[in-house]
Structures are given as structure tokens and as C-alpha cells.
Amino acid sequence: MLFTSARALFALLFLVPALFIFEAKSTAFSANKLPVGVLLAIFLSAVTGPGIGDAAYVKSIQLLGGPLAVTISYTYIFFTELIAFLLGVEKVTQRALLGSIVAFIGVVVAVAAKNSHVKLEGVAYALVAAVNWGLATVLIRYAREYLDPVALSIVRLSIVVVVMLLASFLLKEELSVNRGFFVAALVTGVLGWGVGMALFIYSIYSIGASTTAIATALTPILSQITSRLIARERVSLRLLLGALVVGAGIAISNMH
């Protein structure tokens, strides 16, 4: 939780100057007040997504190992579509549903491992992550008419800093804070939440929550490919095949 708060803080240090450099206009920084419903949606999207969702995801990786945790957690694609449908935010078309299924198969092909140890607690954490990510993704849609992607990222990350710091204090979290902690928080905060969150929100505004969720199925695959390239390891045929299948799913979901 403290690490999550640190990541959000570093992301803010990157995004706040960017807001003024690019002169992004937002009602969040004007005299106009956001509707209470929109404020609640923004607050919940921050707490459920980068907060509870990411914390549960990390815990599931610790209990299940990366491959199985990723596979289960990325069912968030389907939870996004279900929640969007239930809230009446988006219509889930047959094309989008088919694209989701194909993309998820691609994730399974690329990252699933036969030797993963299944622990019910770990599965539960992964499902908690999936549900929270799905909810957070849909809730972002409610802010589209009020905040630009950079401004919304700043508001959400500010909430994450405060909430996760408070949670860390109340739960008396034990964590070793060293140079590695700050380097990891800086890099993942700026790239993952500084650049990544703003682009993620922009995508939701532009093409919708469901289609954006499908596109993010490439994330666990690309992270593995990048890690192997940095480590100068050969990228396996399984990873490449999975990437192609996910790409096919994304293409299907965007067909007109």
C-alpha cells in the first residue's frame, strides 16, 4: 500500500507540470463544481482500480505465481463488459464479446503455465482484482464530459496517494523502504501511471471501456516480451502466438 502510494506520488510529479505545459482545460481546476455523482464515480474508480485492484493483483501473484495470476485477473475484460451493460454505460455487441473471448484466449496461450500452484486464496485475490479493474474502467466513462484525461489522472492519483497512505498506516504495514523501493516506484509510477493512465483514460473516452479493456490484453504479453529482450533471452513462439491471437481479438472488436 505504501508502495502504491509512492507510485501515485511520482506519477503526480510528472503529470501536474504536464497539465500546465499542454494547457489542458478542465472543470476540475475552474470555479465550476463537478456533480456529486461524477465525483463519487471518480473516487470509486481510483479506490477500486489503482487501489484495491492493484493490491489484490500483487497478492495473487505472490500466492499463485505470475502466469496464473495474470490469466485469472485479465478476466477483467469480461467484467468490464458486464458492468458496462448492467450500468447502461455501453451496449455489449456480439462483435465485442467475440473479440473479448479471442483476446482472452491469446492471454492464456501466452502466459499460462502448467506448473502453476492453484491456491483458492490466490484465485480469490485475482478475481477481486478483475472485478475492481472492471468497475474502475467503466466508472471512468462518467467523467468524460467534465475532465480531460490528464486532469482526471491527477484527480484519481491524488485520491490513491491519500487513501493508500491511510490504509498503510491503519493496517500498520511493514515494508522495507530503500533505494530499490524508490527506483521501482519512480519508474513504474511515471511510466505506468503517469503516461499509461492518461493514455488509458483517453482510450476509454475515445473508443469505450469495453474495447479499451480488450486492447489491454496485450499488456501481460508485451511485458514478458520486453523482459526477455532486456534479459537477452529468446522470445518464445508461444508468446508470439499469444500476441497474434490477442491482436486478432482486438481487430474483431473494432470491426464495423
Residue 247 has a pLDDT of 85
Residue 31 has a pLDDT of 37
Q: How much is the average pLDDT of 222-237? A: 74
Question: Whole-angstrom Cα distance, residue 60 to residue 98?
Answer: 27
Q: How much is the average pLDDT of 205-212? A: 92
- Residue 64, C-alpha cell as written in the block: 499463485
Q: How many Cβ atoms are within 10 Å of 215's Cβ, its own excluded? A: 21
Q: How much is the average pLDDT of 44-59? A: 92
* Predicted TM-score (pTM) above 0.75: yes
Q: How much is the average pLDDT of 69-76? A: 87
pLDDT tens-digit series, residues 106-140: 888 887 765 556 788 988 999 999 999 999 999 99
Of 100-104, 170-174, 244-248, least confident by mean pLDDT is 170-174
Return the percentage of the chain with pLDDT > 90, whole number.
41
Domain span including residue 215? 2-253
Residue 22 has a pLDDT of 66
pLDDT tens-digit series, residues 92-105: 888 888 989 998 99
Number of domains in the chain: 1
Which among 144, 163, 170, 185 has a CA at the least distance from the CA of 46?
163
